[in-house]
Structure 1
Protein backbone atom coordinates (compact mmCIF):
# COMPACT_ATOMS: atom_id res chain seq x y z
CA UNK A 1 0.00 0.00 0.00
CA UNK A 2 1.29 3.44 -0.94
CA UNK A 3 2.57 5.52 1.97
CA UNK A 4 1.11 8.99 2.44
CA UNK A 5 2.93 11.89 4.07
CA UNK A 6 0.29 14.63 4.26
CA UNK A 7 2.17 17.14 6.43
CA UNK A 8 3.65 19.78 4.11
CA UNK A 9 6.08 21.00 6.76
CA UNK A 10 7.50 17.52 7.34
CA UNK A 11 8.38 17.08 3.66
CA UNK A 12 9.66 20.64 3.23
CA UNK A 13 11.87 20.38 6.30
CA UNK A 14 13.55 17.22 4.94
CA UNK A 15 14.35 18.91 1.63
CA UNK A 16 15.61 22.11 3.28
CA UNK A 17 18.52 20.15 4.75
CA UNK A 18 20.00 19.74 1.25
CA UNK A 19 21.56 22.96 0.00
CA UNK A 20 21.20 22.25 -3.71
CA UNK A 21 17.46 21.79 -3.30
CA UNK A 22 16.89 24.32 -0.50
CA UNK A 23 17.89 27.19 -2.77
CA UNK A 24 14.87 26.35 -4.94
CA UNK A 25 12.43 26.43 -2.00
CA UNK A 26 10.93 29.82 -1.08
CA UNK A 27 11.43 30.65 2.58
CA UNK A 28 8.79 28.60 4.41
CA UNK A 29 7.96 28.68 8.13
CA UNK A 30 5.26 27.43 10.46
CA UNK A 31 2.59 30.09 10.75
CA UNK A 32 2.50 32.45 13.69
CA UNK A 33 1.34 36.06 13.74
CA UNK A 34 4.87 37.43 14.35
CA UNK A 35 6.31 35.16 11.63
CA UNK A 36 3.73 36.40 9.13
CA UNK A 37 4.50 40.03 10.04
CA UNK A 38 8.25 39.43 9.71
CA UNK A 39 8.00 37.80 6.30
CA UNK A 40 5.63 40.48 5.01
CA UNK A 41 8.14 43.12 6.06
CA UNK A 42 10.92 41.16 4.37
CA UNK A 43 9.20 40.21 1.10
CA UNK A 44 6.06 42.36 0.85
CA UNK A 45 4.15 39.34 -0.44
CA UNK A 46 3.50 35.96 1.20
CA UNK A 47 1.27 32.95 0.73
CA UNK A 48 -0.19 31.05 3.66
CA UNK A 49 -1.62 27.56 3.28
CA UNK A 50 -2.83 24.69 5.46
CA UNK A 51 -0.14 22.27 6.65
CA UNK A 52 -2.61 19.49 5.82
CA UNK A 53 -4.71 19.79 2.71
CA UNK A 54 -4.80 19.46 -1.05
CA UNK A 55 -6.45 21.07 -4.04
CA UNK A 56 -5.41 24.60 -3.16
CA UNK A 57 -8.16 24.88 -0.55
CA UNK A 58 -7.46 27.46 2.14
CA UNK A 59 -4.59 29.14 0.29
CA UNK A 60 -4.39 32.89 0.96
CA UNK A 61 -2.19 35.54 -0.65
CA UNK A 62 -1.28 38.54 1.52
CA UNK A 63 0.61 41.54 0.21
CA UNK A 64 1.35 45.08 1.25
CA UNK A 65 -0.07 47.97 -0.71
CA UNK A 66 1.23 51.22 0.66
CA UNK A 67 0.49 51.06 4.38
CA UNK A 68 -2.40 48.63 3.94
CA UNK A 69 -2.55 44.84 3.88
CA UNK A 70 -4.37 43.11 1.03
CA UNK A 71 -5.84 39.64 1.58
CA UNK A 72 -6.66 37.62 -1.55
CA UNK A 73 -8.74 34.55 -0.67
CA UNK A 74 -10.66 32.65 -3.34
CA UNK A 75 -12.05 35.38 -5.62
CA UNK A 76 -12.25 38.18 -3.05
CA UNK A 77 -9.65 40.76 -2.07
CA UNK A 78 -10.00 42.44 1.33
CA UNK A 79 -8.08 45.50 2.50
CA UNK A 80 -7.03 45.85 6.13
CA UNK A 81 -5.41 49.08 7.22
CA UNK A 82 -3.63 47.75 10.30
CA UNK A 83 -1.49 44.73 11.10
CA UNK A 84 -3.86 43.86 13.91
CA UNK A 85 -6.88 43.95 11.61
CA UNK A 86 -5.10 41.81 9.01
CA UNK A 87 -4.11 39.18 11.59
CA UNK A 88 -7.65 39.07 12.95
CA UNK A 89 -9.01 38.39 9.47
CA UNK A 90 -6.37 35.73 8.78
CA UNK A 91 -7.17 33.94 12.04
CA UNK A 92 -10.85 34.01 11.11
CA UNK A 93 -10.08 32.37 7.77
CA UNK A 94 -7.71 29.80 9.29
CA UNK A 95 -10.36 28.57 11.73
CA UNK A 96 -7.71 27.25 14.10
CA UNK A 97 -5.98 25.08 11.51
CA UNK A 98 -2.19 24.75 11.39
CA UNK A 99 -0.78 26.80 8.52
CA UNK A 100 2.52 27.49 6.81
CA UNK A 101 3.69 30.90 5.66
CA UNK A 102 5.78 31.02 2.48
CA UNK A 103 7.49 33.77 0.56
CA UNK A 104 5.20 34.85 -2.26
CA UNK A 105 6.61 34.28 -5.74
CA UNK A 106 5.61 36.47 -8.68
CA UNK A 107 4.71 33.62 -11.00
CA UNK A 108 5.00 33.73 -14.75
CA UNK A 109 1.64 34.51 -16.33
CA UNK A 110 -0.35 33.99 -19.47
CA UNK A 111 -2.89 36.74 -20.15
CA UNK A 112 -2.51 38.02 -16.58
CA UNK A 113 -3.28 34.64 -14.99
CA UNK A 114 -0.57 32.75 -13.07
CA UNK A 115 0.76 29.39 -14.16
CA UNK A 116 2.70 26.75 -12.29
CA UNK A 117 4.00 23.30 -13.11
CA UNK A 118 3.41 19.76 -11.85
CA UNK A 119 5.99 16.99 -12.22
CA UNK A 120 4.50 13.61 -11.30
CA UNK A 121 6.77 10.66 -10.56
CA UNK A 122 5.55 7.14 -9.81
CA UNK A 123 7.07 3.75 -9.11
CA UNK A 124 6.44 1.21 -11.87
CA UNK A 125 7.98 -2.26 -11.90
CA UNK A 126 10.21 -1.29 -9.01
CA UNK A 127 11.66 1.90 -10.48
CA UNK A 128 10.71 5.56 -10.50
CA UNK A 129 9.52 6.99 -13.80
CA UNK A 130 8.12 10.32 -14.98
CA UNK A 131 4.36 10.07 -15.28
CA UNK A 132 3.71 13.65 -16.40
CA UNK A 133 5.13 17.15 -16.64
CA UNK A 134 2.32 19.65 -17.17
CA UNK A 135 1.42 23.27 -16.56
CA UNK A 136 -1.66 24.51 -14.68
CA UNK A 137 -3.21 27.85 -15.59
CA UNK A 138 -5.33 29.63 -13.00
CA UNK A 139 -8.96 30.44 -13.59
CA UNK A 140 -9.55 34.20 -13.94
CA UNK A 141 -9.63 35.88 -10.53
CA UNK A 142 -7.96 33.05 -8.62
CA UNK A 143 -4.42 32.78 -7.26
CA UNK A 144 -4.44 28.96 -7.21
CA UNK A 145 -4.05 26.93 -10.40
CA UNK A 146 -5.59 23.65 -9.24
CA UNK A 147 -7.72 21.89 -11.82
CA UNK A 148 -10.37 21.12 -9.17
CA UNK A 149 -10.78 24.89 -8.78
CA UNK A 150 -11.24 25.61 -12.45
CA UNK A 151 -7.62 25.71 -13.59
CA UNK A 152 -6.67 24.60 -17.09
CA UNK A 153 -4.09 21.96 -17.97
CA UNK A 154 -1.52 23.01 -20.55
CA UNK A 155 1.47 21.32 -22.10
CA UNK A 156 4.50 22.42 -20.08
CA UNK A 157 6.54 23.46 -23.11
CA UNK A 158 3.68 25.49 -24.56
CA UNK A 159 3.12 27.27 -21.24
CA UNK A 160 6.80 28.15 -20.94
CA UNK A 161 6.87 29.40 -24.51
CA UNK A 162 3.80 31.59 -23.92
CA UNK A 163 4.90 33.04 -20.58
CA UNK A 164 8.69 33.33 -20.64
CA UNK A 165 11.43 34.17 -23.10
CA UNK A 166 13.46 31.06 -22.29
CA UNK A 167 14.12 27.74 -24.01
CA UNK A 168 11.27 25.36 -23.04
CA UNK A 169 13.33 22.18 -23.39
CA UNK A 170 16.00 23.40 -20.99
CA UNK A 171 13.44 24.49 -18.37
CA UNK A 172 11.61 21.15 -18.56
CA UNK A 173 14.92 19.30 -18.21
CA UNK A 174 15.70 21.28 -15.04
CA UNK A 175 12.25 20.58 -13.59
CA UNK A 176 12.72 16.86 -14.16
CA UNK A 177 16.26 16.79 -12.76
CA UNK A 178 15.27 18.66 -9.59
CA UNK A 179 12.34 16.31 -9.08
CA UNK A 180 14.52 13.20 -9.30
CA UNK A 181 17.08 14.64 -6.89
CA UNK A 182 14.28 15.42 -4.43
CA UNK A 183 12.63 12.02 -4.96
CA UNK A 184 15.79 10.22 -3.86
CA UNK A 185 15.86 12.22 -0.61
CA UNK A 186 12.16 11.84 0.12
CA UNK A 187 12.02 8.10 -0.67
CA UNK A 188 14.96 7.53 1.68
CA UNK A 189 13.30 9.59 4.42
CA UNK A 190 9.82 8.11 3.95
CA UNK A 191 10.16 4.46 2.86
CA UNK A 192 7.08 3.17 1.11
CA UNK A 193 6.07 6.24 -0.88
CA UNK A 194 5.53 5.39 -4.53
CA UNK A 195 3.98 8.57 -5.92
CA UNK A 196 5.20 12.15 -5.78
CA UNK A 197 3.75 15.31 -7.28
CA UNK A 198 6.10 18.29 -7.27
CA UNK A 199 4.49 21.70 -7.71
CA UNK A 200 6.80 24.34 -9.12
CA UNK A 201 6.52 28.02 -9.78
CA UNK A 202 8.70 29.76 -12.33
CA UNK A 203 9.07 33.45 -11.57
CA UNK A 204 9.09 36.26 -14.10
CA UNK A 205 12.90 36.00 -14.36
CA UNK A 206 12.73 32.29 -15.16
CA UNK A 207 13.94 31.01 -11.76
CA UNK A 208 12.45 27.69 -10.64
CA UNK A 209 10.85 27.47 -7.18
CA UNK A 210 9.54 24.30 -5.54
CA UNK A 211 6.27 25.31 -3.88
CA UNK A 212 5.29 21.96 -2.34
CA UNK A 213 5.35 18.19 -2.71
CA UNK A 214 2.40 15.80 -2.53
CA UNK A 215 2.47 12.05 -1.91
CA UNK A 216 -1.04 11.66 -3.29
CA UNK A 217 -0.88 13.71 -6.48
CA UNK A 218 -3.96 13.98 -8.64
Structure 2
Protein backbone atom coordinates (compact mmCIF):
# COMPACT_ATOMS: atom_id res chain seq x y z
CA UNK A 1 0.00 0.00 0.00
CA UNK A 2 1.51 3.38 -0.98
CA UNK A 3 2.16 5.81 1.85
CA UNK A 4 -0.72 8.10 2.77
CA UNK A 5 0.02 11.68 3.86
CA UNK A 6 -3.02 13.32 5.42
CA UNK A 7 -1.86 16.81 6.35
CA UNK A 8 -2.49 19.35 3.60
CA UNK A 9 -0.09 21.69 5.37
CA UNK A 10 2.76 19.17 5.23
CA UNK A 11 2.11 18.39 1.56
CA UNK A 12 1.93 22.07 0.61
CA UNK A 13 5.21 22.73 2.43
CA UNK A 14 6.90 19.85 0.59
CA UNK A 15 5.82 21.18 -2.81
CA UNK A 16 6.78 24.78 -2.02
CA UNK A 17 10.37 23.78 -1.29
CA UNK A 18 10.92 23.29 -5.02
CA UNK A 19 11.37 26.48 -7.02
CA UNK A 20 9.84 25.02 -10.19
CA UNK A 21 6.68 24.10 -8.25
CA UNK A 22 6.39 26.98 -5.75
CA UNK A 23 5.11 29.38 -8.43
CA UNK A 24 2.09 27.11 -8.91
CA UNK A 25 1.07 27.02 -5.23
CA UNK A 26 -1.37 29.69 -3.99
CA UNK A 27 -0.32 31.44 -0.80
CA UNK A 28 -1.37 29.11 2.03
CA UNK A 29 -1.19 29.74 5.79
CA UNK A 30 -2.45 28.13 8.97
CA UNK A 31 -5.74 29.82 9.75
CA UNK A 32 -5.83 32.17 12.71
CA UNK A 33 -7.95 35.23 13.38
CA UNK A 34 -5.10 37.39 12.06
CA UNK A 35 -4.04 35.29 9.05
CA UNK A 36 -7.61 35.04 7.73
CA UNK A 37 -8.14 38.79 8.07
CA UNK A 38 -4.80 39.58 6.42
CA UNK A 39 -5.45 37.22 3.52
CA UNK A 40 -8.94 38.66 2.97
CA UNK A 41 -7.45 42.15 2.98
CA UNK A 42 -4.79 41.08 0.50
CA UNK A 43 -6.76 38.88 -1.88
CA UNK A 44 -10.42 39.75 -1.38
CA UNK A 45 -11.41 36.08 -1.61
CA UNK A 46 -9.91 33.01 0.07
CA UNK A 47 -10.74 29.39 0.74
CA UNK A 48 -10.51 27.91 4.21
CA UNK A 49 -10.15 24.15 4.40
CA UNK A 50 -9.44 21.52 7.06
CA UNK A 51 -5.81 20.44 7.28
CA UNK A 52 -7.05 16.85 7.13
CA UNK A 53 -10.07 15.74 5.19
CA UNK A 54 -11.30 14.43 1.85
CA UNK A 55 -13.96 14.99 -0.80
CA UNK A 56 -14.03 18.75 -0.23
CA UNK A 57 -15.78 18.35 3.13
CA UNK A 58 -15.52 21.41 5.36
CA UNK A 59 -14.24 23.73 2.62
CA UNK A 60 -15.53 27.31 2.79
CA UNK A 61 -15.16 30.26 0.43
CA UNK A 62 -14.77 33.58 2.25
CA UNK A 63 -15.05 37.01 0.62
CA UNK A 64 -14.97 40.67 1.43
CA UNK A 65 -18.30 41.97 0.21
CA UNK A 66 -19.19 45.64 0.11
CA UNK A 67 -18.32 46.94 3.55
CA UNK A 68 -18.67 43.52 5.15
CA UNK A 69 -17.90 39.84 4.70
CA UNK A 70 -19.57 36.63 3.63
CA UNK A 71 -18.76 32.96 3.37
CA UNK A 72 -20.25 29.94 1.66
CA UNK A 73 -20.25 26.44 3.15
CA UNK A 74 -21.99 23.84 1.01
CA UNK A 75 -24.82 25.77 -0.63
CA UNK A 76 -25.43 28.01 2.39
CA UNK A 77 -24.28 31.65 2.24
CA UNK A 78 -23.80 33.70 5.42
CA UNK A 79 -23.22 37.47 5.53
CA UNK A 80 -21.66 39.63 8.25
CA UNK A 81 -21.09 43.33 8.74
CA UNK A 82 -18.13 42.81 11.09
CA UNK A 83 -15.06 40.60 10.83
CA UNK A 84 -15.30 39.37 14.43
CA UNK A 85 -18.75 37.88 13.85
CA UNK A 86 -17.57 36.25 10.61
CA UNK A 87 -14.57 34.66 12.30
CA UNK A 88 -16.61 33.35 15.25
CA UNK A 89 -19.08 31.74 12.84
CA UNK A 90 -16.29 30.11 10.84
CA UNK A 91 -14.66 28.81 14.02
CA UNK A 92 -17.95 27.18 15.01
CA UNK A 93 -17.91 25.38 11.65
CA UNK A 94 -14.34 24.17 12.12
CA UNK A 95 -15.10 22.49 15.45
CA UNK A 96 -11.65 23.28 16.81
CA UNK A 97 -9.81 21.41 14.05
CA UNK A 98 -6.78 22.92 12.35
CA UNK A 99 -7.74 24.82 9.23
CA UNK A 100 -5.73 26.44 6.47
CA UNK A 101 -6.45 29.66 4.60
CA UNK A 102 -5.52 29.72 0.92
CA UNK A 103 -5.50 32.55 -1.59
CA UNK A 104 -8.68 32.23 -3.63
CA UNK A 105 -8.29 31.31 -7.28
CA UNK A 106 -11.20 32.30 -9.50
CA UNK A 107 -11.85 29.04 -11.33
CA UNK A 108 -12.66 28.95 -15.01
CA UNK A 109 -16.22 27.97 -15.86
CA UNK A 110 -17.90 25.54 -18.21
CA UNK A 111 -21.55 26.24 -19.03
CA UNK A 112 -21.75 28.56 -16.03
CA UNK A 113 -20.24 26.13 -13.52
CA UNK A 114 -16.75 26.22 -12.05
CA UNK A 115 -14.28 23.48 -12.88
CA UNK A 116 -10.84 22.22 -11.98
CA UNK A 117 -8.64 19.38 -13.22
CA UNK A 118 -7.36 16.22 -11.57
CA UNK A 119 -3.84 15.26 -12.67
CA UNK A 120 -2.93 11.66 -11.79
CA UNK A 121 0.79 10.89 -11.54
CA UNK A 122 2.21 7.48 -10.64
CA UNK A 123 5.51 5.80 -9.98
CA UNK A 124 5.68 3.48 -12.95
CA UNK A 125 6.85 -0.15 -13.13
CA UNK A 126 10.04 1.18 -14.75
CA UNK A 127 10.67 3.22 -11.55
CA UNK A 128 10.06 6.66 -13.04
CA UNK A 129 7.26 9.15 -12.40
CA UNK A 130 4.66 9.44 -15.13
CA UNK A 131 1.42 11.37 -15.48
CA UNK A 132 -1.10 8.67 -16.37
CA UNK A 133 -4.29 10.68 -16.65
CA UNK A 134 -5.86 14.15 -16.58
CA UNK A 135 -9.59 14.64 -16.23
CA UNK A 136 -11.94 17.54 -15.50
CA UNK A 137 -14.38 18.02 -12.64
CA UNK A 138 -17.28 20.45 -12.90
CA UNK A 139 -18.95 21.69 -9.71
CA UNK A 140 -22.62 20.98 -9.07
CA UNK A 141 -24.95 23.98 -9.30
CA UNK A 142 -24.30 26.53 -6.53
CA UNK A 143 -21.49 24.40 -5.05
CA UNK A 144 -17.95 25.71 -4.43
CA UNK A 145 -16.21 22.31 -4.59
CA UNK A 146 -15.89 20.18 -7.71
CA UNK A 147 -15.43 16.76 -6.08
CA UNK A 148 -17.34 13.92 -7.69
CA UNK A 149 -18.39 12.75 -4.22
CA UNK A 150 -19.92 16.20 -3.60
CA UNK A 151 -22.04 16.12 -6.74
CA UNK A 152 -19.42 17.21 -9.25
CA UNK A 153 -19.55 15.99 -12.84
CA UNK A 154 -16.63 14.32 -14.65
CA UNK A 155 -15.92 15.90 -18.06
CA UNK A 156 -12.94 15.34 -20.42
CA UNK A 157 -10.22 17.92 -19.72
CA UNK A 158 -9.83 19.02 -23.35
CA UNK A 159 -13.58 19.73 -23.54
CA UNK A 160 -13.30 22.09 -20.55
CA UNK A 161 -10.17 23.85 -21.80
CA UNK A 162 -11.16 24.28 -25.45
CA UNK A 163 -13.38 27.37 -24.89
CA UNK A 164 -10.53 29.07 -23.00
CA UNK A 165 -7.46 28.35 -25.14
CA UNK A 166 -6.70 27.54 -28.76
CA UNK A 167 -3.98 25.13 -27.58
CA UNK A 168 -5.63 22.71 -25.15
CA UNK A 169 -3.18 19.94 -26.07
CA UNK A 170 -0.13 22.05 -25.21
CA UNK A 171 -1.72 23.10 -21.92
CA UNK A 172 -2.44 19.47 -21.00
CA UNK A 173 1.16 18.54 -21.84
CA UNK A 174 2.46 21.23 -19.46
CA UNK A 175 0.15 19.88 -16.73
CA UNK A 176 1.52 16.41 -17.40
CA UNK A 177 5.03 17.73 -16.76
CA UNK A 178 3.80 19.40 -13.58
CA UNK A 179 2.41 16.07 -12.37
CA UNK A 180 5.79 14.38 -12.80
CA UNK A 181 7.63 17.18 -10.99
CA UNK A 182 5.16 17.10 -8.10
CA UNK A 183 5.38 13.31 -7.86
CA UNK A 184 9.15 13.44 -7.52
CA UNK A 185 8.95 16.20 -4.91
CA UNK A 186 6.40 14.31 -2.83
CA UNK A 187 8.35 11.05 -2.95
CA UNK A 188 11.51 12.91 -1.93
CA UNK A 189 9.71 14.42 1.08
CA UNK A 190 7.70 11.30 1.92
CA UNK A 191 9.42 8.05 0.87
CA UNK A 192 6.78 5.44 0.10
CA UNK A 193 4.52 7.80 -1.87
CA UNK A 194 3.93 6.17 -5.26
CA UNK A 195 0.84 7.99 -6.50
CA UNK A 196 -0.51 11.53 -6.32
CA UNK A 197 -3.57 13.32 -7.56
CA UNK A 198 -3.12 17.04 -8.09
CA UNK A 199 -6.17 19.28 -7.93
CA UNK A 200 -5.36 21.99 -10.46
CA UNK A 201 -7.24 25.27 -10.92
CA UNK A 202 -6.74 27.29 -14.08
CA UNK A 203 -7.15 31.06 -13.82
CA UNK A 204 -8.22 33.42 -16.60
CA UNK A 205 -4.63 33.75 -17.86
CA UNK A 206 -4.47 29.90 -18.05
CA UNK A 207 -1.93 29.78 -15.23
CA UNK A 208 -2.26 26.47 -13.33
CA UNK A 209 -2.51 26.49 -9.53
CA UNK A 210 -1.98 23.42 -7.35
CA UNK A 211 -4.87 23.62 -4.88
CA UNK A 212 -4.13 20.31 -3.21
CA UNK A 213 -2.01 17.17 -3.42
CA UNK A 214 -3.73 13.86 -2.71
CA UNK A 215 -1.72 10.74 -1.90
CA UNK A 216 -4.71 8.40 -2.08
CA UNK A 217 -6.50 9.71 -5.18
CA UNK A 218 -9.61 7.94 -6.43
CA UNK A 219 -8.64 6.10 -9.63
CA UNK A 220 -12.22 5.23 -10.52
CA UNK A 221 -13.14 8.70 -11.81
CA UNK A 222 -10.88 7.79 -14.76
CA UNK A 223 -13.38 5.15 -15.78
CA UNK A 224 -15.15 8.15 -17.32
CA UNK A 225 -12.08 9.16 -19.34
CA UNK A 226 -12.85 9.09 -23.11
CA UNK A 227 -9.85 6.81 -23.69
CA UNK A 228 -10.41 3.48 -21.86
CA UNK A 229 -6.67 2.74 -22.04
CA UNK A 230 -6.07 5.50 -19.49
CA UNK A 231 -7.99 3.75 -16.70
CA UNK A 232 -6.44 0.39 -17.58
CA UNK A 233 -2.94 1.84 -17.33
CA UNK A 234 -3.70 3.54 -14.00
CA UNK A 235 -4.89 0.24 -12.55
CA UNK A 236 -1.96 -1.69 -14.02
CA UNK A 237 0.52 0.75 -12.49
CA UNK A 238 -1.28 0.66 -9.15
CA UNK A 239 -0.77 -3.09 -8.93
CA UNK A 240 2.96 -2.70 -9.59
CA UNK A 241 3.92 -0.28 -6.80
CA UNK A 242 7.01 -1.41 -4.90
CA UNK A 243 6.16 -3.51 -1.86
CA UNK A 244 7.55 -2.33 1.44
Deviation, structure 1 residue 172? 0.3
Counterpart in 2 of 1:153? Answer: 154
Alpha-carbon deviations, 1:186-206, whole Å to 9, x = none? 111111111100110001221
* Distance (whole Å) between structure 1 residues aligned to residue 48 and residue 91 of structure 2: 11
Alpha-carbon deviations, 1:114-172, whole Å to 9, x = none? 1000011223425333332001000001010000011011111111013x134101110
* TM-score normalised by L of structure 1: 0.96
RMSD: 1.1
Counterpart in 2 of 1:42? Answer: 42
Instruction: Within 5 Å, give how 1:18-57 maps onto structure 2.
Output: 18-57=18-57
Counterpart in 1 of 2:136? Answer: 135
The answer as to whether partners of 1:166 and 1:206 remain within 8 angstroms in 2 is no
Compare the two structures and name the one with the higher strand fraction.
1
The answer as to whether partners of 1:116 and 1:200 remain within 8 angstroms in 2 is yes
Deviation, structure 1 residue 216? 0.4
The answer as to whether partners of 1:2 and 1:194 remain within 8 angstroms in 2 is yes
* Distance (whole Å) between structure 2 residues aligned to residue 49 and residue 166 of structure 1: 34
Counterpart in 2 of 1:144? Answer: 145
Deviation, structure 1 residue 18? 1.6
Counterpart in 2 of 1:169? Answer: 169
Counterpart in 1 of 2:214? Answer: 214
Counterpart in 1 of 2:227? Answer: none
The answer as to whether partners of 2:6 and 2:52 remain within 8 angstroms in 1 is yes
* Distance (whole Å) between structure 2 residues aligned to residue 2 and residue 23 of structure 1: 27
1:84 maps to 2:77? no
1:179 maps to 2:185? no
Q: Which has the larger radius of gyration?
A: 2
Equivalences, count: 217
The answer as to whether partners of 2:80 and 2:86 remain within 8 angstroms in 1 is yes
* 1:141 alignment partner, SS class: coil
* 2:37 alignment partner, SS class: helix
The answer as to whether partners of 1:121 and 1:132 remain within 8 angstroms in 2 is yes
* 1:159 alignment partner, SS class: helix
* Distance (whole Å) between structure 2 residues aligned to residue 63 and residue 169 of structure 1: 34
* Distance (whole Å) between structure 2 residues aligned to residue 54 and residue 70 of structure 1: 24
* TM-score normalised by L of structure 2: 0.86
* Distance (whole Å) between structure 2 residues aligned to residue 120 and residue 19 of structure 1: 21
Unpaired segments ≥5 residues, structure 2:
219-244
Alpha-carbon deviations, 1:28-66, whole Å to 9, x = none? 011111000000000000000010011000000000111
